[in-house]
Amino acid sequence: MKKCYLLSRSLFALSLLAINQPVTAQTPDAASSANAAYQQKDWATAARLYGALAQKSPENPRYSYRLGVALRATGQNEQALHSFQQAQADGLPVSLVGFEMACTYASLGQTDKAFETLTAAITQGYGQPDKLNTEPALQPLKTDPRFAELVAKATRNQNPCIYNAENRQFDFWVGEWNVVDASSGITAGSSHIEKELGQCVIWENWTSANTNYAGKSYNIYNADLKRWEQFWVDNVGGMIHFYGGLKDGVMDFYTDEMPQADGTTLKRHLQFFNLGPDKVRQFSQGSTDSGKTWKVEYDFTYNRRK
């Protein structure tokens, strides 16, 4: 289910990008004129030009979609609804066309159909809560409890990594850290770790003490494989791919067996222990015998910088 949801969100984003790009067709002059009118919100002209384009190229659902937008803007709701239904029948996903259809249903006084269509669009990934709240046609729906629920779901669609529990499992590592060797107490380096890209990626920036060595890691929850993955890169050309997940409160990563310069292979086991709000233990081990025995590579303590 989650894989389908994420795929729908990706398809929605790509479709949204495509639908708002300038339209080209076999008649570039007509398409350019229609696009110009659409971008300028000259809706009467856009409706006329896209009507002609949709009639000439019925296989292009974007023409029907934009015709519907223009018709709705000029108050021709019955005709607009037909155009949106045609665009959906010709391949546009409900996550894209559903918002406009729902607005049209609402304008026609068909409240239940508006909610039904919005629900379908949001279930398939629609994630623009601001448009839901500000669209004039949807204002009459706000007094219905269903509307607030849909806005909340659209908000989660807009920022899924903020709300999905799996994406928050590694939050304990985010912060500014002074890092020491656990056994000797000697400073090993410092690390700045933050969340990026809609809080979906945990981005580590490591700087070693007393050397020029530095590196970064990109950590993300892979919803398709239901695991966390880390991609480590550094300033000497190194790259390591870890994968694993949260187990008994410990972020537990492994690598595959990687070929080494001396002809052996090396498998790594990397663990992060949450020791409270201001301390994390990072413990790395390596194995050259397929995990039968392990040798400590390093044992670091991260102390949160005040």
CATH number at 90 reads 1.25.40.10
Average pLDDT (113-131) is 97
Do 121 and 49 belong to one domain? yes
Residue 62 in 3-state DSSP? helix
The single residue listed with the structure tokens 């159909």 is 113
Do 135 and 192 belong to one domain? no
For residue range 184-223, list pLDDT tens digits in order. Answer: 999 999 999 999 999 999 999 999 999 999 999 999 999 9
Q: Encoding tokens for residue 223? A: 């919803």
Do 97 and 67 belong to one domain? yes
Pick from 158, 175, 202: which residue ends a domain?
158
Q: Is the pLDDT of residue 56 over 80?
A: yes
The single residue listed with the structure tokens 């026609």 is 108
Domain count, the chain: 2
Q: Is the pLDDT of residue 77 over 80?
A: yes
The single residue listed with the structure tokens 């601001």 is 130
Instruction: Report pLDDT for 28.
Output: 63
CB 251 within 8 A of CB 262: no
CATH number at 203 reads 2.40.128.20
Do 218 and 272 belong to one domain? yes
Instruction: Report pLDDT for 306.
Output: 85
In which band, very low, low, confident or very high, does the pLDDT at 48 lie, cut at 50, 70 and 90?
A: very high
Mean pLDDT over each residue of the chain, to the nearest integer? 92
Pick from 110, 133, 158: which residue ends a domain?
158
CB 228 within 8 A of CB 245: yes
The single residue listed with the structure tokens 């929850």 is 221
Residue 75 makes CB contacts below 8 A (sequence gap 6+) with none
Residue 299 makes CB contacts below 8 A (sequence gap 6+) with 181, 182, 183, 281, 282, 283, 284
Q: Is the pTM of this model over 0.85?
A: no
Instruction: Report pLDDT for 26.
Output: 45
Euclidean distance between CA atoms 108 and 84, whole angstroms: 14
Domain of residue 103: give its range.
Answer: 2-158
Do 89 and 117 belong to one domain? yes
What percent of the chain clears pLDDT 90, i.e. is strictly above it? 89
Average pLDDT (173-179) is 98
Question: How many Cα neighbours within 13 Å face the side chain of 257?
Answer: 9
User: Dihedral through CA 115, CA 71, CA 25, CA 13, nearest 10?
Assistant: -30
